[in-house]
Amino acid sequence: MTEEQALKTILTAVERNFPKDCTSCKHRFYTYKEYLQKTYPLGAPVSNDAVINDWHPQRPLGFLAYWKCKFCSNTLTTNINSLEKDTVWQLLSWLKEEMKSKGVSNSAILNDIRVKIRKQVLGE
């Protein structure tokens, strides 16, 4: 898997989370683009499987990112738990190679991906 393929796979999976409601103020985010415009990222995204060094999970734990609602400051999440196991394995394999080649954590790689996706979605 290339970085471009990883970006596309992650973006497609994240977009499946929408529409999404804030559990506190009940604001409905109809699209991922609106979500990016009306939330702030909190910390770095994480692959829970990578954290426990499970690169071929039989029951993937998924990827998780935290956000802060601009309307009420509630903490929100986006996840990509809807992927087929083979796709998760491909993403994890790509992530592991990126971590190894760059000498950084899975969160650092995923944060870079989040920044790139944000720029793409918002046209920045």
Give the tens place of pLDDT for each residue, 6-43.
Answer: 999 999 999 999 999 999 999 999 999 999 999 999 99
* Residue 83: φ, ψ to 5°: -80, 150
SS3 call for 88:
helix
Q: Comparing C-alpha atoms, which of 98, 8, 82, 101 is closest to residue 50?
A: 98
**Residue-wise pLDDT tens digits, 61-107:** 999 999 999 999 999 999 988 889 999 999 999 999 999 999 999 99
| pLDDT given at position 94 | 97
| C-alpha dist (Å) from residue 1 to 14, 68, 77, 83 | 18, 31, 25, 15
Please report, for the chain, the start and end positions of each structural domain, with discontinuous segments joined by +. Answer: 3-122
pTM (2 d.p.): 0.89
Q: How far apart are CA 122 and CA 120, in angstroms?
A: 6
Q: Comparing C-alpha atoms, which of 106, 83, 94 is closest to residue 5?
A: 94
Residue type, 68: K
